[in-house]
Amino acid sequence: MQSNSSKPSFKVIGTRPIRPGDTDKATGQALYGVDVTLPDLLYGAVLRSPHAHARILSIDTRQAEALPGVKAVITAADLPQPGSARGEDRYQSENTLAREKVLYFGHAVAAVAATNEHIALDALELIQVAYEVLPPVLDPDQAMQEGAPILHNDLSTGANEAPTNLADHMQLKRGDVEKGFALASVIVEREFHTATVHQGYIEPHNASALFSASGQLTIWCSTQGSFSVRSQVAEILQVPRVHIRVIPMEVGGGFGGKNRAYLEPLAALLSRKSGHKPVKMVMSYGEVLSATGPTSAASIRIKMGADASGHITAAAARLVYAAGAFPGSPVGTAANALLAPYRIDNFQIDGYDVVVNKPWAAAYRAPGVANANFTCESVIDELSQKLGLDPLEFRLRNAVREGDLLPDGAAYARIGLIETLEAARAHPHYSAPLAGPHQGRGVACGYWGNGGGRSSASASLNSDGTVNLVTGSVDLSGTRMTLAMQLAEVLGIAAEDVKGSMADTDSTGFADGSWGSRTTFSTGQAVIKVGQELIRLLCKRAADIWKVPLEQVSFADGEFSSGKEKLAFKKLASMLGWDVPVLASAAVNPDSVGPSFATHIVDVEVDPETGQVRLLRYTAVQDTGKAVHPAYVEGQIQGAVTQGIGWALNEEYFYDEAGHLLNGSFLDYRIPTCPDVPSIEPVIVEVPSPSHPFGVRGVGEMSIVPPPGAIANAIHAALGVRMEVLPMSPGRILEALWKEEEALE
Residues binding a second copy (CB under 8 A): 20-24, 27, 29, 31, 35, 37-39, 210, 212-216, 231, 234, 240-243, 245, 276, 454-456, 458, 460-464, 466-468, 470, 497-499, 501, 503-511, 578-585, 587-589
Q: How far is the CB of 595 from a second copy (least distance, A)?
A: 20
How many other C-beta atoms are found inside a 10 Å radius of the C-beta of residue 510? Answer: 14
- CA 242 to chain CA mean position, Å: 28
Q: In angstroms, what is the C-alpha Rg of the chain?
A: 27
Helix axes 369-386, 630-649, angle to 10 degrees: 80
Closest CB to a second copy among residues 26, 556: 26
How many angstroms separate the CA atoms of 114 and 562, rounded? 67
How many other C-beta atoms are found inside a 10 Å radius of the C-beta of residue 455? Answer: 28
Q: How far is the CB of 279 from a second copy (least distance, A)?
A: 13
Q: How far is the CB of 584 from a second copy (least distance, A)?
A: 6
> What are the CA-CA distances from residue 595 to residues 392, 414, 538, 683 (Å)?
20, 9, 36, 17
Helix axes 630-649, 707-719, angle to 10 degrees: 50
Closest CB to a second copy among residues 368, 509: 509
Strands 596-606 and 108-114: unpaired
> What are the CA-CA distances from residue 118 to residues 125, 126, 342, 561 (Å)?
11, 13, 56, 67
How many angstroms separate the CA atoms of 110 and 132, rounded? 17
Q: How far is the CB of 467 from a second copy (least distance, A)?
A: 7
Q: How far is the CB of 16 from a second copy (least distance, A)?
A: 16
Closest CB to a second copy among residues 97, 495: 495
Q: How far is the CB of 203 from a second copy (least distance, A)?
A: 15
Phi and psi, residue 540, nearest 5°? -60, -45
How many other C-beta atoms are found inside a 10 Å radius of the C-beta of residue 719? Answer: 21
Q: Report the candidate in 138, 123, 624, 609 with the shortest Cα–Cα distance to residue 415.
A: 624
For the chain, give the number of residues: 745
Residue type, 175: G
Closest CB to a second copy among residues 184, 588: 588
Closest CB to a second copy among residues 508, 596: 508
Residue type, 645: I
Q: Report the candidate in 524, 423, 535, 540 with the shortest Cα–Cα distance to residue 469.
A: 524
How many angstroms separate the CA atoms of 258 and 229, rounded? 10
Closest CB to a second copy among residues 258, 454: 454
Closest CB to a second copy among residues 128, 212: 212
Q: Report the candidate in 56, 389, 395, 319 with the shortest Cα–Cα distance to residue 166.
A: 319
Q: How far is the CB of 85 from a second copy (least distance, A)?
A: 18
Q: How far is the CB of 574 from a second copy (least distance, A)?
A: 12
Q: How far is the CB of 56 from a second copy (least distance, A)?
A: 32
Q: How far is the CB of 288 from a second copy (least distance, A)?
A: 22
Helix, strand, or coil here: 718? helix
Q: How far is the CB of 439 from a second copy (least distance, A)?
A: 44
The string of DSSP letters for 15-60 reads: --PPPTHHHHHHTT-S-BGGG---TT-EEEEEEE-SSSSEEEEEEE
Q: Report the candidate in 357, 271, 298, 297 with the shortest Cα–Cα distance to residue 52.
A: 357
Closest CB to a second copy among residues 85, 213: 213
Closest CB to a second copy among residues 15, 216: 216
Closest CB to a second copy among residues 140, 500: 500
How many other C-beta atoms are found inside a 10 Å radius of the C-beta of residue 133? Answer: 13
> What are the CA-CA distances from residue 189 to residues 342, 537, 548, 726 (Å)?
17, 63, 74, 17
Closest CB to a second copy among residues 479, 508: 508
Q: How far is the CB of 234 from a second copy (least distance, A)?
A: 8
Facing residues of 598 across strands? 446, 622
Closest CB to a second copy among residues 272, 722: 272
- CA 363 to chain CA mean position, Å: 5
Closest CB to a second copy among residues 200, 509: 509
Q: How far is the CB of 135 from a second copy (least distance, A)?
A: 41
Contact indicator for 168, 86 with CB cutoff of 8 Å: no
Closest CB to a second copy among residues 234, 413: 234
Q: How far is the CB of 450 from a second copy (least distance, A)?
A: 17
Residue type, 383: L
Q: How far is the CB of 276 from a second copy (least distance, A)?
A: 6
Q: Report the candidate in 631, 632, 642 with the shortest Cα–Cα distance to residue 600.
A: 642
Q: Report the candidate in 120, 200, 281 with the shortest Cα–Cα distance to residue 664.
A: 200
Helix, strand, or coil here: 595? coil
